[in-house]
C-alpha cells in the first residue's frame, strides 16, 4: 500500500506539473476566434471536445474558486514570496532542459535564479534584468526536431499533443525536484502554480469564453501558437493565455537567445 500511494502521488505530481507548465503567452491579434490562422491536426476532435467540457466544468467547480480565494483573501505581503518560491522551484528542470537544448545562456539564467532564490523571496522584482526560464521535455523534443503529432485534450491537464505528452512522461523521470524532494514537493509546486496562475487570468478566461464563437477551437488555436512560440523561445509573436483548466503560469517566453542552426531546425 505505501508503494501504491507513493506511485500515485508521483503520477499526480507530474500531472500537476504538466498542467502548470502550460504557460501563458498571447495571439498576434485580438481576435479570440483566430483558429483559421493556425493549421490544426485534430483527428480526435469529438472525444477531445468531451474531455474539454469536463475540464471546463472541473475548473469552475474546483480551481476557479480556489483562485478567487487566493486572490481576494491572501495577504499581499505573502503573495510575493509565494510567487517567487513557486517560480524558482521550476528552475532546476528548466536548467536541465536548457542544457539539453544547447542553450547555455538560458541554463545559466535558470541556475542563477535558483541559487539566489532564498534571500530574494520577498523582493517584488528580484531579478529585474532576468526573466524566469521555463523549459520542459516537450520543448526540448521540439528543439531536437520532433513533430508535434495530433492535438490531444487531456483530462485535467488540458491541451497537449503527442510530443508534449511524451515529454510529460520524460519529465516524470528526470525532474530534479521530484528526484531530490519527492512527490510531495512536486505536487505542492504543481498545485501552487495552478492556483497562482489561475488567479491572474480570471477575467481573461471569462472574456475569452464570453467572446468566442467556439471556445474549444479558440483554445486549440491559442495553445498551438503558444507552444510553437515556446519551442522557439519567443521567436514568434507572443500569444494570449490559452486556458485549459487554468493550470498555467502567467509569463511570456524570454527573448530568443542565439543558437546554432542545428539546434533550431
CB-based contact 24:249 (threshold 8 Å)? yes
**CA angle in degrees (0–180, nearest 5) for 230-232-234:** 65
Per-residue pLDDT for the chain (265 aa), expressed as one digit of tens each? 443 334 444 444 434 433 433 333 233 333 444 434 456 799 999 999 999 999 999 999 999 999 999 999 999 989 988 998 999 999 999 999 999 999 999 999 999 888 887 676 667 666 666 678 999 999 999 999 999 999 999 998 889 999 999 998 899 889 999 999 988 888 888 889 989 999 999 999 999 999 999 999 999 999 999 999 999 876 533 333 333 443 343 434 444 444 444 343 3
Cell 508535434 sits on residue: 148
CB-based contact 247:200 (threshold 8 Å)? no
Residues 244, 56: Cα–Cα separation, whole Å: 7
What is the model's pLDDT at position 105?
93
Residues 154, 161: Cα–Cα separation, whole Å: 9
Closest CA to 200 of 16, 23, 77: 23
**In which element (H, E) is residue 68 found?**
helix 64-73
Count other C-beta atoms under 10 Å from residue 45's C-beta. 15
What is the model's pLDDT at position 153?
96
What is the model's pLDDT at position 130?
67
Q: Which residues contact 228 (CB under 8 A, 6 or more apart)?
A: 236
What is the model's pLDDT at position 172?
85
pTM: 0.73
What is the model's pLDDT at position 110?
93
Closest CA to 249 of 204, 178, 200: 200
What is the model's pLDDT at position 127?
66
What is the model's pLDDT at position 183?
80
What is the model's pLDDT at position 218?
94
Residues 27, 47: Cα–Cα separation, whole Å: 26
> Where do the structural domains in the chain lie, given as residue ranges?
38-264
Residues 136, 115: Cα–Cα separation, whole Å: 20
What is the model's pLDDT at position 118?
66
What is the model's pLDDT at position 115?
86
Residues 23, 18: Cα–Cα separation, whole Å: 10
**CA angle in degrees (0–180, nearest 5) for 212-213-217:** 75
What is the model's pLDDT at position 132?
86
**CA angle in degrees (0–180, nearest 5) for 222-228-230:** 100
Amino acid at each position: 500500500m505505501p508503494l501504491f500511494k507513493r506511485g500515485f502521488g508521483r503520477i499526480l505530481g507530474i500531472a500537476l506539473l504538466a498542467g502548470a507548465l502550460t504557460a501563458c503567452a498571447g495571439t498576434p491579434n485580438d481576435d479570440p476566434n483566430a483558429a483559421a490562422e493556425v493549421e490544426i491536426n485534430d483527428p480526435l476532435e469529438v472525444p477531445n471536445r468531451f474531455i474539454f467540457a469536463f475540464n471546463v466544468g472541473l475548473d469552475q467547480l474546483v480551481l476557479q474558486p480556489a483562485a478567487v480565494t487566493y486572490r481576494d483573501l491572501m495577504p499581499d505581503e505573502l503573495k510575493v514570496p509565494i510567487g517567487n518560491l513557486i517560480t524558482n522551484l521550476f528552475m532546476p528542470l528548466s536548467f536541465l532542459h536548457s542544457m539539453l537544448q544547447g542553450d547555455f545562456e538560458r541554463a545559466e539564467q535558470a541556475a542563477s535564479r535558483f541559487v539566489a532564490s532564498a534571500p530574494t523571496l520577498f523582493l517584488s522584482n528580484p531579478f529585474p534584468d532576468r526573466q524566469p526560464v521555463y523549459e520542459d521535455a516537450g520543448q526540448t523534443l521540439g528543439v531536437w526536431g520532433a513533430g508535434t503529432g495530433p492535438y490531444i485534450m487531456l483530462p485535467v491537464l488540458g491541451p497537449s499533443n503527442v510530443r508534449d505528452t511524451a515529454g510529460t512522461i520524460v519529465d516524470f523521470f528526470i525532474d530534479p525536484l521530484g528526484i531530490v524532494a519527492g512527490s510531495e514537493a512536486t505536487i505542492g509546486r504543481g498545485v501552487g502554480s495552478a492556483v497562482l496562475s489561475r488567479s491572474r487570468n480570471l477575467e481573461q478566461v471569462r472574456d475569452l469564453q464570453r467572446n468566442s464563437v467556439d471556445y474549444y477551437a479558440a483554445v486549440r488555436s491559442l495553445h498551438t501558437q503558444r507552444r510553437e512560440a515556446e519551442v522557439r523561445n519567443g521567436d514568434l509573436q507572443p500569444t494570449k493565455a490559452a486556458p485549459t483548466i487554468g493550470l498555467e503560469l502567467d509569463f511570456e517566453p524570454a527573448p530568443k537567445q542565439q543558437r546554432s542552426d542545428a539546434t533550431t531546425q
